[in-house]
Chains A and B, each alone.
Chain A
Amino acid sequence: MSTDTAPPRSTEAAGSPGPVPVSPLSLWAGDVATVTWRNLIKFRRNPEILLFAVLQPIMFVLLFSQVYGGSIQIEGGNYTDYLMAGIFGQTVLFGSTFSGYQMAQDLKEGMIDRFRTLPMHDSAVLFGRTNADLVLNGVSVVIMMISGAVVGWRFHEGWLSFLAGVGILLLFSYAFSWVMALLGIIVRTPEVINNASFMILFPLTFISNAFVQTDNLPRALEVFANWNPISALVQAVRELFGNTGAAPTPDTFPMQNPILTTVAMSLLMLAVFVPLAVNRFRQASSR
C-alpha cells in the first residue's frame, strides 16, 4: 500500500528540450491551426467531398431555374434571382452537417483517442473541425455563385452589401457547424448523422421561402415558413443581394427583420453550442 508521498518531479527531465514558455492562448491557437490544417488536407486530397457538397445544389439551380423558372412569377423580379439566395442557404446548411459526420467519423476511427492522449487543448479539436468546414462552405458558396451567374443570377445592391450577404451566410454556417459537431459527438455513427440531418433539413428548407414565396403555401405551412429560421437566413441574403422582388414581405418578426434575426440566432447558437460541444467532447472517448 503505497501512498504517493511526493515523489520528486523527475518527469519533466524526460523527452526533448522543453519548448520555450509560450502564452496559453498562443498554444491554443497553435493547436487549432494544426487541427484545421489536418482537416483541410483531407479536403484537398478528396475533392469528391466538395463535389458532393455542390452537386445537389447545382442540380437544384438547373432544375428550378430551367424547369420552374418560366412558370413561377416573382413580382418585380425574376425567379432565378429570387431562387439563388435559397440555394446559397441550402448549400451552407447541408455543408455544415459535414462537421457532425466528420466528428463521428473521427471518434469511430480512434483519431479522437489519439488527440486525447496528447497534451493539447481539447477544444482545439472542435475549433479545428468547424474552421475547416467554414472553409469548405466558403468554397461551396463561391462555386454556387458562379453557377448562379451562369444561369443569369446577379446581385443588385453593390459590393458592400454583397459581402455582407456572404458574411451572414458564413456566420450562420459556422454556428450551425457547432450544432452538428455536438450531434456528431453524441450520435457517434456517421451514417446516422447523414441520414437524420437529411430527413430533418430537407423538409425544413422546402417549407421555407427558399424556393417559393410563402404566400403560395397552405395556411399552416405559410405560418411555419414565415417563422422558419431558414427563411430568415434566406430573406436576409435576398435583401442584401437585392433579389427580393417587389412582393410585400410577410408580416412576422423574422421576415421583417431578417438580418437582425439571423445574426442574433447565429450568435445564440454559438453561445449555447460551443460550450456544450466542448464539454461533451471532454467526456467522449471511443469505446
Chain B
Amino acid sequence: MAIIEAHDLRKTYHSRSGDVHALAGLSLTVPEGTVKGLLGPNGAGKTTTVKVLNTLLRPDSGTATVAGVDVLHDPEGVRRVIGASGQYAAVDEHLTGRENLEMVGRLYHLGGSRSRERAKELLEQFDLTGAGDRPVKGFSGGMRRRIDLACALVNNPQILFLDEPTTGLDPRSRLGLWDVIKDLVAQGTTVLLTTQYLEEADYLADDISVIDHGTVIAEGTADELKAQVGGHRVVVTLVDSADADAARAVLERHGTDDVQQDTGGRTLSVPVTEGPGALQHVLADLASADVRLHDAGMRRPTLDDVFLRLTGREQADDTASELEESA
C-alpha cells in the first residue's frame, strides 16, 4: 500500500520576472518500506515537493497524504510520524550534538528522561559519542550531516524525507551516510530522497521519479530508466590521439550510431547492439591496425545519459561516468 500519495500538486511563485511554476500538477506514489528517489535538475521542483509533503509549504492546489494522514488538513498528525533532514544541516551550531538531539526529543514531547536516553542511543548509533558533547560548530561536514539525520530519527519515524542528504560531502562521508540510510531502510523505514547525484539515486532508490518543470517526466527503477535510453556502448581511450582517425574508422564499422569523441580527442565511444561481442571485434581490429590503447571497455548507459535524453540538458553536477569492466 502506498504510504505517500500526492495528487496533482501545484505551486506557483509570483516574482517580478514572471510566474514560476515550481509544481505543475505533480503526482507521486511511494509504497511502504521502499526508497523513492526524486531526481531532477536545479529548480525542477524536487525540494518544493518534499516541503509540501513534510508540511513546510502549502500547495496552491492538489492533495497529499502521508501515512494516511492528510497533509493539508492535519499537518501536526503528519509531523508526528515523519522525520526530515534538510539540504543544509538544520542543527543548532551553538548546541552540542547531544543538546540538539535532546531539544528535538523534548519538542516531540518525549519528556526529559526519554529525550536524554534517545539522544544517547542516537549518538552511539551514529558513532558520535566522542564528539557528542562538543558544540556542532566544530563538527566536520560529515558529522554535521550525521547529527542532522540523527535529529530526524529521534521519534523513530515511519517515513523519512531526505533532501539532498550528501550534497557537499566528501566521498568517504557520503559512503558512510549511504550505509546509515541503507540500514534504516532495512529496518522498514520508507524514504523519500531528493538528490543531485545520479549514482546516489542509483545506489539507494528502489524507484526513481525524474522531475522537470514541476512534473514527473519519467518513472521506474534505475535499470528501467537506463533501458529506455538504449543498450551498451563501447568506449576506448587511446594512448596517442594521432590514432584517433584509425580508431574512429574501427568504431564506425561496429557501431549502430555516430561515434562520440571527447574534447581531448583520446576517448571515443559508440553505441552497439551486442556489447561483449562488439567489444571483442573492436579490440581485434584495433590490434591489427596497431592502435595502442590506454583503456577499453563496455559501458551501460548511466543515469546521466537518461537525464540528458529526458530533459535535454546535462546534469549540473557532472558525475564520473561509470565504466564497467567487460567480464
Which residues of A are interface residues toward B (Cβ below 8 A)? 1-2, 4, 7-11, 14-16, 19-20, 22, 27, 30-31, 34-35, 37-38, 41-42, 45-46, 109-111, 113-120, 285
Contact = CB atoms under 8 A, between A and B. Distances in A.
B110 A38 contact: no
A119 B75 CA distance: 8
Nearest to B96: A41
A111 B92 contact: yes
A119 B79 contact: yes
Nearest to A31: B107
B92 A7 contact: no
A46 B94 CA distance: 8
Given A15-B157, A16-B114, A117-B79, A34 B90 contact: no
A7 B118 contact: no
State which size class the interface on B falls in: 35 or more
Given A10-B68, A45-B135, A117-B55, A110 B82 contact: no
B158 A38 contact: no
Given A11-B67, A119-B80, A41 B95 contact: yes
Given A38-B99, A114-B90, 9 more contacts: A14-B67, A15-B81, A19-B109, A45-B94, A110-B87, A110-B89, A113-B84, A117-B82, A117-B83
Given A16-B118, A116-B55, A111 B90 contact: yes
A8 B69 CA distance: 10
B57 A285 contact: yes
A41 B94 contact: yes
Contacts of A37: 103
B56 to A, nearest CB: 5
A118 B104 contact: yes
Interface string B138-166: 00000000000001000111100000000
B114 A2 contact: no
A117 B84 contact: yes
Given A11-B69, A41-B99, A109-B90, A115 B110 contact: no
21 contacts: A1-B7, A4-B63, A11-B68, A15-B156, A15-B158, A16-B114, A19-B109, A19-B111, A30-B106, A34-B106, A45-B94, A45-B135, A113-B86, A114-B104, A117-B56, A117-B79, A117-B82, A117-B84, A118-B79, A118-B107, A119-B108
Contacts of A119: 76, 79-80, 107-109
A22 B109 CA distance: 10
A117 B54 contact: yes
- Give chain A's interface secondary structure class: loop
B76 A38 contact: no
A117 to B, nearest CB: 4
Given A117-B56, A118-B79, A118-B104, A4 B70 contact: yes
A124 to B, nearest CB: 8
Contacts, number: 112
B11 to A, nearest CB: 12
Given A11-B77, A285-B57, A110 B106 contact: no
The 6 closest A-B pairs by CB, nearest first: A110-B90, A7-B68, A114-B90, A117-B84, A42-B94, A119-B79
A14 B118 CA distance: 15
B90 A120 contact: no
A233 to B, nearest CB: 31
B120 to A, nearest CB: 14
A34 B94 contact: no
A285 B51 CA distance: 9
A179 B103 CA distance: 26
Contact of A110 (B79, B88, B95, B118): B88
A30 B56 contact: no
A45 B1 CA distance: 48
A150 B83 CA distance: 54
B65 interface: yes
Contact of B156 (A16, A117, A285): A16
B86 A4 contact: no
Contacts of A114: 84, 86, 90-91, 104, 151
Contacts of B82: 117
B186 interface: no
B217 interface: no
Contacts of A117: 54-56, 79, 82-84
A113 B2 contact: no
A58 B88 CA distance: 39
Nearest to A20: B111
Contacts of A35: 107
Contacts of B151: 114
B200 interface: no
B2 A2 contact: yes
A114 B151 CA distance: 9
B5 interface: yes
A1 B99 CA distance: 44
Contacts of B76: 119
